[in-house]
Amino acid sequence: MDKRNYFNQLAPRWDSLPSPPGAPDKIRRFVARAIPEDARRVLDAGCGTGVLLPAILDQRPGIELLCELDFAEQMLRLGRCRSSNRAVAAVAADLVRPPLREEIFDAVLCFGIIPHLADPAAACRELIRRLRRGGRLAVGHLMASHELNAFHSQLDGPVSSDRLPPAGDLAALLAACGATPLAAEETPGWYFVLAGRP
C-alpha cells in the first residue's frame, strides 16, 4: 500500500488516535513560535485533518489566507469540518509539486510531516520558494527524533521506516536549500526547527 492510500484509510480514525502527553499545549506553543504575529498568509503543509487549524485561527485572527495542503484527500475532507472560516482553503497536492504561487506566504508550517516525505530536500526547496522574502518555515513534532523514529519502527505498513533527522541535521538541510536557520531545538517530547527565507 502506498502512503496516500495508507493515510486516506487511516483518516476516519486519525483524530481518535492517542496523542503524546501535553499535545494541545505543545501545538499552541508551536503555532505561537512558528507564525509571526503580523502574518497574513499561512501554508499548513501536510496538514492532515487540520490539527493546527483551531490554534492558528485562535492565535492569529488577522490571517487572510490559511492554505491547508495535504496529499490525502480524506484527511482534507475531515479537516474541512473543523472550521467554516472563509480564510481557510483546502488543496489536495504533493508537497514536491504544490500548485501554489511562489513568494506568497508569510509562514509555512510542516507539523508532523517531514518523516513521511520521500524527498525532504525537494519538498523543502519548493516550500521555501512559496515563502515571501523574510518569511519563515517551521517544522514541529510532538516527540524528539529518536522518540518518533522508535515509534515508527514499531508500526506496520508504509510508515514503519519513516525517519525524522535530528533537529540540527534538518536545520543544515534547510540551509542547503537556501533558507537561514533561526532555531533548532530538540528535547524529549519536543522538536522545533525554524528557518527564514533571506
Beta bridge partners of 90: 68
Any idea what DSSP says for residue 115?
Answer: G
- pLDDT per residue as tens digits for the range 4-44: 999 999 898 988 888 899 999 999 999 999 999 999 999 99
**Residue 167: pLDDT band with limits 50, 70, 90:** very high
In 3-state terms, the chain is what percent helix, strand and coil (to 5)?
35, 25, 40
- pLDDT per residue as tens digits for the range 105-127: 999 999 999 999 999 999 999 99
Average pLDDT (169-196) is 98
Q: What span, in angstroms and rounded, lies between the C-alpha atoms of 35 and 196?
A: 11
Average pLDDT (141-147) is 97
Domains and CATH numbers, the chain: 3-196 (3.40.50.150)
Grid coordinates given for 68: 491547508
What is the chain's alpha carbon radius of gyration, rounded to the nearest angstrom? 15
Assess contact for 130 and 95: CB atoms under 8 A.
no
Assess contact for 130 and 101: CB atoms under 8 A.
yes
- Mean pLDDT across the chain: 95
* DSSP run (H or E) holding 90: strand 88-92
Assess contact for 161 and 149: CB atoms under 8 A.
no
